[in-house]
Amino acid sequence: MTRVEFLFNVDDKLAKTSEICEKALAKGRELMVFTQSAAMNEAVQAALWQHSPSSFLASNLLDQSQPHAAIQVSHQHETLIKDDVLINLQDQHPPFFSRFRYLLELVGADEHDKAAARLKFRFYRDRGYDIKSTDARAA
């Protein structure tokens, strides 16, 4: 069963996504970042490539011709080929989340983000998923 975690009070979702990706890659994990739009795809990929002044996190957009990078970024689930770690940056739950081993929901501090997270939390809980919640400011 998919492990679900909510990371709340995230001040900068792009920076936190990059940080999570870096840690997960160090552990040999493969990641899929599910975004809201093509514009967000580009922003996530830019953040990953510029994450550290002395290194970068190689990623690709799934509509590109190199689908084998350890980090893939897309706003369309039809093109997904990874099934290890899913970082969801959309307002709704991903309809395909259960095929992943681990789902991470990033929740910002604004009320819109919190309201969307509450709906997603209820959705996962009502389906029997154990949910871990972590405060990003305390971590």
Domain edges within the chain: 3-135
What's the pLDDT tens digit per position in 23-76?
A: 998 899 989 999 998 899 889 888 887 766 555 555 555 555 555 566 777 777
Please tell me the class of the 3-135 domain.
alpha beta
Contact 85, 97 (CB under 8 A): no
Amino acid residing at 78: E
Q: What is the pTM of this model?
A: 0.87
How far is residue 66 from each of residues 57, 85, 137, measured CA to CA in Å? 15, 19, 35
Burial 77-86 (b: 16+ CB within 10 A, else e): beebebeebb
